[in-house]
Structure 1
Amino acid sequence: MVSSTALELLLAEVVPAALRVSQELTEPEEGSKMAPFGYLVDSESHLDNVYFRVEGYGYRVGRGIAESFSNERPHFADTLDMMKFICKDVWLLLYNKQVDHLKTNHRGTFVFVENQFRGCQRMSAKGGQVETMKGATPYLWFPVGVIRGVLAALGIQADVTFETTQLPVVYFNIHVVQ
């Protein structure tokens, strides 16, 4: 319980920090507007910069987790075993629960299905679901980075994305690069 609470507190600081750093590096454009959760959005490239930074933080956390915890385990037989390690052990460490469902096509594509993703359970915005999803997006890039970081530490290069149409349901899509 402590690690999941610590992660929530970390993200409560990481995302605003990424937003501030990105704002300091870019000049505000005319017509800038406030986005959900109170940060300034100057342009699409500004948001991309924020997403890149948050995903990078997650990547470094994921690499560290994999390097610390995979040494205690026997070598993984295949990519599916690595995905199970993330779904069970890494997710349990970060979110105090395992991934709800793991789907695969057995050709390098995996989907982690989270029906109640802890990182988004308490998020809401005055503008309703659409504004909440916009505000939650930077926070969803962190677990994307964690997944990619764990896989990179285990020697697997992957493209990781997420999809959501109704929070807190989130799909993390992993495509292993051959």
Structure 2
Amino acid sequence: MNAPMDVVFNLFHGNMIDYFIQKNENKDYLDKLEFIGFKTGQSIVERITKDTPKFKNELDIIKFICKEFWTQIYHKQVDNLKTNHQGIYVIQDNDFMFFSKVSKTKKFTEECVKFLSLPCGLLRGALSQLGINCIVTAEIENLPICKFQIELQKS
């Protein structure tokens, strides 16, 4: 994606969230955004792994997500990956694209949480397509730093 496409993607993402907030008074819009992200993540991974050999283990899959998948979407690799070696991985992006130009006040930090449903869905969908069932949550410590926690679910 080039710079103009980044602008289009950011506008699309923001407008989609605004649309769902306005149309869903019962607050189920976050689930719908997560589902849109899930389906999109599956499609992106299917496309970028078509010529990739099978992964050896879950750590190789997570590393692929941090390098290749993240680069396809955000034009950079993640800044940090941590694991407890018991099925929990934490991906940190120190300059998360959606938050890089947002005011860093507490009010905006609370509002930015709404923007995390779609990226959580993207991650969950990508991992699902690669055979990993998981729960993905996100938190904002200080804008624009964002952490995504991936908790693997045993089948």
Are the aligned partners of 1:101 and 1:113 in contact in 2 as well (CA < 8 Å)? Answer: yes
* Unaligned ranges ≥5, structure 1: 27-45
1:6 Cα deviation from its structure 2 partner: 3.3
1:173 equivalent in structure 2: 149
2:50 equivalent in structure 1: 71
Instruction: Output the amino acid matched with 2:50.
Output: N
1:101 equivalent in structure 2: 80
Q: CA separation in 2, counterparts of 1:65 and 1:122?
A: 26
Instruction: Output the amino acid matched with 1:114.
Output: D
Which of 5, 13, 19 is residue 17 of structure 1 equivalent to? 19
Are the aligned partners of 2:113 and 2:139 in contact in 1 as well (CA < 8 Å)? Answer: no
Q: CA separation in 2, counterparts of 1:89 and 1:5?
A: 21
* Partner SS state of residue 71, structure 1: coil
1:146 Cα deviation from its structure 2 partner: 0.4
1:43 equivalent in structure 2: none
Number of residue pairs aligned between Structure 1 and Structure 2: 152
Instruction: Output the amino acid matched with 2:32.
Output: R
Residue 65 (structure 2) pairs with residue 86 (structure 1)? yes
Q: CA separation in 2, counterparts of 1:143 and 1:69?
A: 17
Are the aligned partners of 1:162 and 1:173 in contact in 2 as well (CA < 8 Å)? Answer: yes
Q: CA separation in 1, counterparts of 2:141 and 2:21?
A: 24
Q: CA separation in 1, counterparts of 2:15 and 2:92?
A: 26
Deviating 4+ runs (over 2 angstroms): 1-7
Are the aligned partners of 1:61 and 1:146 in contact in 2 as well (CA < 8 Å)? Answer: yes
* Cα root mean square deviation, aligned: 1.5
1:9 Cα deviation from its structure 2 partner: 2.2
Percent of counterpart pairs with the same letter?
31
Instruction: Output the amino acid matched with 1:176.
Output: L
TM-score (norm. length: structure 2): 0.91
* Unaligned ranges ≥5, structure 2: none
1:136 equivalent in structure 2: 112
Are the aligned partners of 2:136 and 2:150 in contact in 1 as well (CA < 8 Å)? Answer: yes
Which of 4, 7, 11 is residue 6 of structure 2 equivalent to? 4
Q: CA separation in 1, counterparts of 2:22 and 2:122?
A: 22
Q: CA separation in 1, counterparts of 2:43 and 2:85?
A: 27
Q: CA separation in 1, counterparts of 2:21 and 2:62?
A: 31
The higher radius of gyration belongs to 1
Q: CA separation in 1, counterparts of 2:130 and 2:8?
A: 25
Which of 92, 99, 112 is residue 113 of structure 1 equivalent to? 92
Q: CA separation in 2, counterparts of 1:63 and 1:166?
A: 29
Deviations 1:52-75 (A, max 9, x none): 121111111101111111112111
